[in-house]
Structure 1
Amino acid sequence: MPSRGPNTPPPEQKTYLKYRYRTWSTYYGWTSTVELVEAIGRKFDRSQKSADRWAQFILAEAINISRRQSPPRGAYPFGAWQSACTVLPEFFSEAAKQERTTRLTTMDTPFLYKFLLGTMDSDFQAEDLSPTSDELDTSFAPDGTTPSSTVDEAETRLLATLPVPGSLDASMADYEGFAYTSGIELTEGKQARYRQISALVCSMVTFARNHRHNGMQLTNAIQFEFWQSNHSA
């Protein structure tokens, strides 16, 4: 019988390690596995070179995950392709656009969507609540209210920035799941804008990878053509 080296685990320990190895990627083991990977990542942060190498590894993994996610092939509503020759008015309804956006961000490209949203939305990280210079307003009354004259001035400035109904800005301000907000509610407006931008980028990326994923592009093209036909001399 061959002798066992000083660093060789006993047979019963080998069996236990094999059992633990089988649970690494299961419900019973993935929490501790992720904690182990996070601990390894912290080790790489000890120097810039090792941190760069770890970032390169994470980037490669993120790219692989993102590439594996894409809208289904085939014709709408089962796939992401819609022919301009057979499209129906219902395709451009708000409900249909919202349904396509929801499917894109939750089923087709959820990883890319969450990555973009997490990069922009400070709620995913510790938010810096320090006000910027343009957010500081000394016109508030001591009790925290705003004088009526200031309210009137604020409303006037806001109305001046909104697109005029029927103008090109008003027509193009609402893309496929991408609408500009007035910013009256700063926090909600920012979060909505981040979600809209993330969804828009996901749609652009999927179209760049496969031009048959054309829902947003078809909607924008027809909306712009419709605006031009109604405003041409």
Structure 2
Amino acid sequence: MTPKLFIVGFLTSGNSDIAYQRRFWGTHTGWQSTAELLRVIKAVVLQAQDGATSWNQFIEEEAIEIMNNKLPPTGNYPEDSFYSSHTVQPSFFCQEVVLAREHSIREHMPFLYKILLVTLRLPPGNNNKVIEDNNLDPYEEELLVREGIQYESAVTLSTQSKSKKVAATICSMVAFSRNRRINGLQLFNSVRFLGAGITERMDQYFHLLSLTSSRQTALSALRTLLTVDSRELRNSMAIKESSPIGPSICIDNLDMEEQVHNHSVGHCSMMFHGTWGYIHHPNPNLLKLLDPSQLRLSLYYDTLSKVPTMKITLAMFMPSPVEEVHFEAVLKSQIARVMAQYIAKPAHPGIATNPPPVEKIDPSPPNI
């Protein structure tokens, strides 16, 4: 009997005494010694070139078997992973829901995700740094601000965050390729890319790569979202006795230029044109401070009738003496703080280093 036949017989024998001897091989208690045995077998096999090739092929077959059984559930959302374009809601695009979808992919495809994550990470000792596209000179930055040009610095993900994002995206692409009902990322991308102006041909290419759903699915999702938004818009514009002032309709025409100072291929200044609008609800806390009897249309017309005879004075546009004193105290406190921090602290400070309190503004976000 060869050693291999002995090991096979020992592991497959139905004898109760032999089975008792190997009872801990696959449990948590005995796994450490079992893993050491497997590593020893691996070391012996890898000593030969043919053995290394056969071992890699064996591991590859085992990995395929593991991944074949790892997919997210294909039932309907919110229990499972299928999002219908006929029932999609605006909350589908919230950051919390996006992170929840990525977490679900990681939980249901851990083997593939971990392999991709380890593969994408930089090896130890590699000092490669992420190259940032923002090479704006600080002095030029100040000039742009003075000219009224608004800009945002490029935000670069860390290597670790980028690797996690790429690994989760690839897992989603694989899952969608195997089963079209695992479509969270694809439906999200198809609607987002349609709004960004991606051409239909490019969308077909992304759909081929399992990055997006079909264009028809995106249009169907937009029609569903339009129905939801239309209903919310009607409810928002409805007359309510509890609110004496209705929401404001704001519509703006956009002519926005994205100015690029370091031109390169595919990276140049662009002009964006479009129209956007929103409904702005007044703050309920502010409405409570108003006198409802003064919010009548007749009083509004009466005030407008006095505009032609209104006497406009310069004092209307100038700060009051109290405001002037307050502003002066703010400037002095800032100068005193800098002097005390960088030059010297006075023995008997006569000017406070903290600015005087200001009238607090409600920091709650507007209801738009």
Q: Please give the range of the TM-score, normalised by the shorter of the 2 chains.
A: 0.5 to 0.7
- What TM-score, normalized to structure 2? 0.43
Q: What one-letter code is carried by the residue in structure 2 that aligns with 1:62?
A: A
- 1:116 corresponds to: 116
CA contact (8 A) 1:44 1:51 kept: yes
Q: Which has the higher contact order (CA 8 A, sep 6+)?
A: 1
Q: What one-letter code is carried by the residue in structure 1 that aligns with 2:108?
A: D
- 1:169 corresponds to: none
- 1:212 corresponds to: 181
Deviation at 1:44, TM superposition (A): 1.5
Mapping of residues 1-233 of structure 1, within 5 Å? 17-105=18-106, 107-122=107-122, 127-129=124-126, 131=127, 155-156=135-136, 182=156, 189-228=158-197
User: CA 1:40 to 1:91, structure 2 compared with 1: closer, same or farther past 3 Å?
Assistant: same
User: CA 1:202 to 1:154, structure 2 compared with 1: closer, same or farther past 3 Å?
Assistant: closer
- What TM-score, normalized to structure 1? 0.66
Give the secondary-structure state (helix, strand or coil) at the position aligned to 1:90.
Answer: helix
Larger strand proportion of the pair: 2
- 2:260 corresponds to: none
Q: What one-letter code is carried by the residue in structure 2 that aligns with 1:115?
A: I
Deviation at 1:232, TM superposition (A): 8.2
User: CA 1:65 to 1:89, structure 2 compared with 1: closer, same or farther past 3 Å?
Assistant: same
Deviation at 1:154, TM superposition (A): 6.6
Q: What one-letter code is carried by the residue in structure 2 that aligns with 1:113?
A: Y
User: CA 1:208 to 1:63, structure 2 compared with 1: closer, same or farther past 3 Å?
Assistant: same
CA contact (8 A) 1:181 1:193 kept: no
Deviation at 1:215, TM superposition (A): 0.5
**Partner Cα separation in structure 2 for residue 55 and residue 108 of structure 1:** 25
**Partner Cα separation in structure 2 for residue 116 and residue 208 of structure 1:** 17
Residue-pair matches, total: 177
**Partner Cα separation in structure 2 for residue 192 and residue 30 of structure 1:** 33
- Pairwise CA RMSD of aligned residues? 3.4
**Partner Cα separation in structure 2 for residue 37 and residue 181 of structure 1:** 46
Deviation at 1:111, TM superposition (A): 0.7
Deviation at 1:119, TM superposition (A): 1.4
Show CA shifts across 1:161-209 (max 9, x none): xxxx99xxxxxxxxxxxxx9526xxxxx111111111000000000000
Q: Larger C-alpha radius of gyration, 1 or 2?
A: 2
**Partner Cα separation in structure 1 for residue 197 and residue 180 of structure 2:** 24
Show CA shifts across 1:13-64 (max 9, x none): x866422312111111111111111111111111211000000000011111
**Partner Cα separation in structure 1 for residue 45 and residue 121 of structure 2:** 26
CA contact (8 A) 1:24 1:30 kept: yes
Return 21-30 or 209-218, whichever deviates more: 21-30
